[in-house]
Chain A
Amino acid sequence: MSQITPEVIAQHGIKPDEYKLILEIMGREPNLTELGIFSVMWSEHCSYKSSKKWLKTLPTKAPWVICGPGENAGIIDIGDDHAIVFKMESHNHPSFIEPYQGAATGVGGILRDVFTMGARPIANMNALRFGDPSNPKTRHLVAGVVAGIGGYGNCVGVPTVGGETNFHKSYNGNILVNAMTVGLADKNNIFYSAAAGVGNPVVYFGSKTGRDGIHGATMASAEFDEKSEEKRPTVQVGDPFTEKLLIEACLELMATDVIVAIQDMGAAGLTSSSFEMASKGGLGVELDLDQVPMREQGMTAYEIMLSESQERMLMILKPGKEAEAKAIMDKWELDFAVIGTLTDTGRMVLKRHGQIVADLPIDPLAQASPEYDRPWVAPAKQPVIPAEQVEAVDPVAALKTLLGCPDLASKRWIYQQYDHMVMGDTVQRPGGDAAVVRIHGTQKAVAITTDCTPRYCQADPHEGGRQAVAEAYRNISATGAVPLAVTDNLNFGNPEKHEIMGQIVEAIKGMGEACRELDFPVVSGNVSLYNETQGTAIQPTPAIGAVGLLDDVNKHMTVAFKAGGNHIVLLGETKGWLGASLYLREVCGREEGAPPPVALHRERRKGELVRQLIQDGQVLACHDVSDGGLLVAVAEMAMPGSIGATIDAPASVPLHAWCFGEDQGRYLLEVGQDDLVAVLEAAQEHDCVARVIGKTGGDSISVGGASVPVAELRDINEAWMPNFMGAEMSGH
């Protein structure tokens, strides 16, 4: 009797029409191993089958782009033969089921994507979304995820330099853990994954293969239900010590001339790595699975191919270089095995105990995997909410509420658990607009940020997509760095629902517009769909990770006020947009309204102006105005150096809307008396609205006749997170 019953097919997440296609491709019924391979290769996680059509519309090219999407990570040129390799990737589903290991292996996976291309990882970031703080699971998930990210990143010795954390009830059943790694490579020594050279050895190295993580990719391609806890065995277990050895061994190996192609074994393990390498090279592969280093006896071909054991790599060696490569792996005490050879058949042939156990064509499973044009509907537009229809709360009281709300409260409790200084090049630590990391041994630096405002994306995914990119552009510019490229991590619900697919389509369109207008190409990314539990989806969260370049690290700019008696200059227009704002949500308890629109053409001019002013030394501090609006931004500049400010609000806009409106495209600058005229003139030349809104000094923030000590604001801002987590009963 056939093993392949409709139940078995369904368990593998394969739809009936997809199975029909499998029968066509195979010309026969697949065996269980073959079916398992189809299921992971065609999973949403590996194949991008719902999003591919739309991802292709994103701009991916610029003169400084060395490698765009499709490889393990994106690569940009930063001059002097230096290349920056970076990518962001999700580990959402496993982190909800097992937060420590889920988050830890998320960090491990993204690190491998970067060093597999020949780069030494120099910085990690993470963008986290958790459920409502009052949800009983939230605290446990925060504790586990943070400990997992720290446990892995700290041990491998790569600094975790920043990120963002939001809380919202839509993430109660599906948290988001998006991890980003930035690496530094020699532009002339980059490694790609396309296999080449019939007869060349296929080599496995790193950790042994065990029975963990089998079907992780399939699990990450389905909604959660009440039985999701039972999926714990699909979560992988990380070993950061082995990863550290793997980094050093890989980089040492890459300094020799033995590698043809290399790829890490990530989601879908040996299956996806071998299929992708062969598919890109237009070749076939024959693997003898008996040669795969295994942790336990009696593993079947199915288990070996679908295991997601961590810290493993696959490479194609030049002929006759096996001994040279093995010597390096021996030094680092890592497993090394020749497990197969490249063929010219275009087929994957797997042997176990001397028998052929699977024989599949490669292309239909990899590059030519299914692509869907899923039906979608554009989400309904939300009404614009005029300021007059929003309750006016005393600005000091509202400021206190906002600085103490979960999204704006200091995340010191989180980043103090991450080693953010190892490697000795962290120039701007977590807490600013973007992290600044020096290129080792040079005067150059990269600025790195992650951004997304999910409540805007919920209200209007198109505008939210534009805003996420624009905010990343601003955060990079505010350090003085030139924004170069982005990686995207698209987190959405079930794409089979037309409304959700509409969110995906609109967000990608919005992102694409912003990336094109700002010359900010997408060079890598990852899609995580089915972030739904029992039919409830997360807020659409297209997280953007961005990198920019500072030619002179000594000119990097920070957010902190430097001294009293200086002018505070606001760049950009303030109309007092309160729709979808934090003020509306946190102070008035309303989640509604259209989000603030982004004027992309002005965005670019303002970014150029800010960078020029920083370059010319005419700015003492710079901060982009984002969540919470103008007064929150002033407080964020005041708190680090305990320097207050007196703010003069104009009469033309209602005070609460002026203080807390989230109009886009704004920066705050601290400018000394001697530079003020020049700054205002430069703004005029760039056709940017600029106006002095107050002065630094004192130990309080004063606005509209009210005043509050900076120290009190800092206490409020610092208190929330430790208080919330203080109720945690134990560690992970």
Chain B
Amino acid sequence: MKAAVIVFPGSNCDRDVAVALEASLGSKPLMVWHRDTQLPEVDLVVVPGGFSYGDYLRCGAMAAHSPIMREVKARADAGTRVLGICNGFQIITEAGLLPGVLMRNAQLKFICKDVYLRVENDRNDFCRYYRTGDVVRFPIAHAEGNYFVDPKTYREMEDNGQIAFRYCGADGTVAPEFNPNGSLGNVAGVYNEKKTVLGLMPHPERLAEDLLGGADGKLMFDSLVEALS
């Protein structure tokens, strides 16, 4: 598998996700600067977390219109796998790769902590090492993770298996008290229709090593390497 990580001014999880990818892949991903208009031939594009362009205007809004994102969109349309994490989720959603929007957290604060997630669909290249219904622990670190989409689209997404993860309790219960940001239906991550694009607010790359407190996130990168190699 060949992977590329897009780096915007203000990205700050680019190195973290590159480290996690390298641990699963055995080689370093390509780091692609936002001003590049050419995207190398790769099997996976990662749009990392951070504060692209300072998140001024609206989270992800400016990055979504950068030259490189036109390339990313074209590749996604052609079926290349795209993973957007945190600010990356906001960017690819702004760019129209995924339905919905990410609004300010319900309690209006940045929040950084570990959360439990229920895996909602394991039949894709991102989650083949998880099982639907599994509970995994990833950290969140965001102020705008409150996912919203209109009710009709939401129903279609549910019917089509496009919900990737939901915030839950340690036993997998999905309930309002486990929702850290007010997100619709406790949604933490979603797929596009073909399940080739995944956007999620939690950071799998931050718990991909036992020394840091857990390795549930590593399975996502292992899964991608296995599927795309």
Binding site for B on A (CB under 8 A): 147, 150-151, 154-157, 239-242, 244-245, 332-333, 415-427, 429, 438, 553-554, 731
Return chain B residues, CB-CB under 8 Å to A157.
Answer: 12-13, 50-51
B9 lies within 8 A of chain A by Cβ: yes
CB distance from B202 to the nearest CB of A (A): 11
Q: Are A421 and B12 in contact (CB under 8 A)?
A: no
Using CB atoms, name the residue of chain A closest to B180: A416
Other A-B contacts than A154-B110, A154-B141, 20 sampled, CB-CB below 8 A, are A147-B110, A155-B10, A155-B12, A155-B51, A156-B12, A157-B12, A157-B13, A244-B9, A245-B9, A333-B9, A416-B111, A416-B113, A418-B110, A418-B112, A421-B139, A422-B13, A424-B15, A424-B16, A427-B211, A429-B213
Return chain B residues, CB-CB under 8 Å to A415.
Answer: 112
Considering the chains assembled together, what is the distance between the CA atoms of A147 and B206 in angstroms?
Answer: 23
Give the 10 A-B residue pairs with the shortest CB-CB distance, closest first: A157-B12, A241-B54, A424-B16, A155-B51, A419-B141, A419-B112, A731-B108, A421-B206, A417-B110, A150-B110
Q: Are A240 and B51 in contact (CB under 8 A)?
A: yes
B55 lies within 8 A of chain A by Cβ: yes
CB distance from B179 to the nearest CB of A (A): 15
Using CB atoms, name the residue of chain A closest to B54: A241
Interface hits, B16-56 → A, CB 8 Å: 16, 19-20, 49-51, 53-56
Q: Are A332 and B9 in contact (CB under 8 A)?
A: yes
CB distance from B89 to the nearest CB of A (A): 16
B205 lies within 8 A of chain A by Cβ: yes
Q: A416-B113, A417-B109, A422-B12 are in contact. Are A241 and B53 (CB under 8 A)?
A: yes
Q: Are B110 and A241 in contact (CB under 8 A)?
A: no
Considering the chains assembled together, what is the distance between the CA atoms of A423 and B209 in angstroms?
Answer: 13
Interface hits, B179-229 → A, CB 8 Å: 203, 205-206, 209, 211-213
- Of B54, B55, B209, most A-chain CB atoms within 10 Å: B54
Return chain B residues, CB-CB under 8 Å to A423.
Answer: 15-16
Considering the chains assembled together, what is the distance between the CA atoms of A417 and B55 in angstroms?
Answer: 17
Using CB atoms, name the residue of chain B closest to A732: B108
Using CB atoms, name the residue of chain B closest to A423: B16
CB distance from B176 to the nearest CB of A (A): 17
Q: Are A417 and B12 in contact (CB under 8 A)?
A: no
Q: Are B112 and A420 in contact (CB under 8 A)?
A: yes
> What does the 1/0 interface line of B106-119 toward A look like (CB < 8 Å)?
00111111000000
CB distance from B16 to the nearest CB of A (A): 4
Considering the chains assembled together, what is the distance between the CA atoms of A553 and B212 in angstroms?
Answer: 11
Using CB atoms, name the residue of chain A closest to B143: A154
Return chain A residues, CB-CB under 8 Å to B50.
Answer: 157
Q: A333-B9, A427-B212 are in contact. Are A155 and B55 (CB under 8 A)?
A: yes
Using CB atoms, name the residue of chain B closest to A241: B54
Q: A244-B10, A422-B16, A424-B205 are in contact. Are A417 and B212 (CB under 8 A)?
A: no
Return chain B residues, CB-CB under 8 Å to A553.
Answer: 211
Q: Are A421 and B54 in contact (CB under 8 A)?
A: no
Q: Are A424 and B10 in contact (CB under 8 A)?
A: no
CB distance from B23 to the nearest CB of A (A): 10
Q: Are A421 and B112 in contact (CB under 8 A)?
A: yes
CB distance from B168 to the nearest CB of A (A): 19
Using CB atoms, name the residue of chain A closest to B17: A424
How many A-B pairs have beta carbons closer than 8 Å: the answer is 84
Q: Are A416 and B16 in contact (CB under 8 A)?
A: no
Considering the chains assembled together, what is the distance between the CA atoms of A154 and B113 in angstroms?
Answer: 13
Q: Could you write out 7 A-B pairs with CB less than 8 Å apart?
A: A155-B54, A156-B12, A241-B54, A417-B109, A417-B110, A421-B139, A422-B206
CB distance from A163 to the nearest CB of B (A): 14
Partner of A417 from the list B20, B51, B111 (CB cut-off 8 Å) is: B111
Using CB atoms, name the residue of chain A closest to B49: A422
> What does the 1/0 interface line of B46-75 toward A look like (CB < 8 Å)?
000111011110000000000000000000
CB distance from A725 to the nearest CB of B (A): 10
CB distance from A240 to the nearest CB of B (A): 7
> What does the 1/0 interface line of B131-151 toward A look like (CB < 8 Å)?
000000001010000000000
Return chain A residues, CB-CB under 8 Å to B16.
Answer: 422-424
Return chain B residues, CB-CB under 8 Å to A416.
Answer: 111-113
Return chain B residues, CB-CB under 8 Å to A242.
Answer: 54
Using CB atoms, name the residue of chain A closest to B112: A419
Q: Are B9 and A419 in contact (CB under 8 A)?
A: no
Return chain B residues, CB-CB under 8 Å to A438.
Answer: 211
Considering the chains assembled together, what is the distance between the CA atoms of A553 and B110 in angstroms?
Answer: 29
CB distance from A138 to the nearest CB of B (A): 18
CB distance from A480 to the nearest CB of B (A): 14
Q: Are B9 and A424 in contact (CB under 8 A)?
A: no
Return chain B residues, CB-CB under 8 Å to A147.
Answer: 109-110
Q: A154-B51, A419-B141 are in contact. Are A241 and B10 (CB under 8 A)?
A: yes
Considering the chains assembled together, what is the distance between the CA atoms of A424 and B207 in angstroms?
Answer: 9
Return chain B residues, CB-CB under 8 Å to A420.
Answer: 112
Return chain A residues, CB-CB under 8 Å to B108.
Answer: 731
Considering the chains assembled together, what is the distance between the CA atoms of A154 and B112 in angstroms?
Answer: 10
Partner of A244 from the list B15, B19, B51, B141 (CB cut-off 8 Å) is: B51
CB distance from B31 to the nearest CB of A (A): 12
Considering the chains assembled together, what is the distance between the CA atoms of A333 and B8 in angstroms?
Answer: 12
Using CB atoms, name the residue of chain B closest to A445: B211
> What does the 1/0 interface line of B87-129 toward A look like (CB < 8 Å)?
0000000000000000000001111110000000000000000
Q: Are A424 and B56 in contact (CB under 8 A)?
A: no
Considering the chains assembled together, what is the distance between the CA atoms of A240 and B15 in angstroms?
Answer: 19
CB distance from B143 to the nearest CB of A (A): 8
Return chain A residues, CB-CB under 8 Å to B9.
Answer: 241, 244-245, 332-333
Considering the chains assembled together, what is the distance between the CA atoms of A460 and B101 in angstroms?
Answer: 57
Using CB atoms, name the residue of chain B closest to A556: B211
Using CB atoms, name the residue of chain B closest to A426: B212
Using CB atoms, name the residue of chain A closest to B7: A248
Considering the chains assembled together, what is the distance between the CA atoms of A416 and B9 in angstroms?
Answer: 25
Considering the chains assembled together, what is the distance between the CA atoms of A420 and B15 in angstroms?
Answer: 16
Return chain B residues, CB-CB under 8 Å to A332.
Answer: 9
Considering the chains assembled together, what is the distance between the CA atoms of A421 and B111 in angstroms?
Answer: 12
Return chain A residues, CB-CB under 8 Å to B209.
Answer: 424
Considering the chains assembled together, what is the distance between the CA atoms of A151 and B144 in angstroms?
Answer: 13
CB distance from B59 to the nearest CB of A (A): 11
Considering the chains assembled together, what is the distance between the CA atoms of A416 and B139 in angstroms?
Answer: 11
Q: Are B54 and A239 in contact (CB under 8 A)?
A: yes
CB distance from B180 to the nearest CB of A (A): 10
Return chain B residues, CB-CB under 8 Å to A418.
Answer: 110, 112
Using CB atoms, name the residue of chain B closest to A425: B212
Return chain A residues, CB-CB under 8 Å to B51.
Answer: 154-155, 157, 240-241, 244
Q: Are B141 and A421 in contact (CB under 8 A)?
A: yes
CB distance from A430 to the nearest CB of B (A): 10
- Of A150, A157, A420, A424, most B-chain CB atoms within 10 Å: A424
Considering the chains assembled together, what is the distance between the CA atoms of A438 and B16 in angstroms?
Answer: 13
Using CB atoms, name the residue of chain A closest to B19: A424
Return chain A residues, CB-CB under 8 Å to B20.
Answer: 424
Q: Are B12 and A424 in contact (CB under 8 A)?
A: no
CB distance from A595 to the nearest CB of B (A): 35
Using CB atoms, name the residue of chain B closest to A436: B211
CB distance from B138 to the nearest CB of A (A): 11
Considering the chains assembled together, what is the distance between the CA atoms of A503 and B53 in angstroms?
Answer: 47
Partner of A424 from the list B55, B109, B111, B212 (CB cut-off 8 Å) is: B212
Using CB atoms, name the residue of chain A closest to B9: A245
CB distance from A160 to the nearest CB of B (A): 9
- Of A239, A422, A423, A429, most B-chain CB atoms within 10 Å: A422
Considering the chains assembled together, what is the distance between the CA atoms of A417 and B143 in angstroms?
Answer: 9
Considering the chains assembled together, what is the distance between the CA atoms of A720 and B200 in angstroms?
Answer: 32
Return chain B residues, CB-CB under 8 Å to A241.
Answer: 9-10, 51, 53-56
Using CB atoms, name the residue of chain A closest to B20: A424
CB distance from B30 to the nearest CB of A (A): 18
Using CB atoms, name the residue of chain B closest to A413: B109
Return chain B residues, CB-CB under 8 Å to A151.
Answer: 110
Q: A155-B51, A241-B54 are in contact. Are A422 and B141 (CB under 8 A)?
A: yes
CB distance from B216 to the nearest CB of A (A): 14
Return chain B residues, CB-CB under 8 Å to A426.
Answer: 212
Considering the chains assembled together, what is the distance between the CA atoms of A229 and B55 in angstroms?
Answer: 30
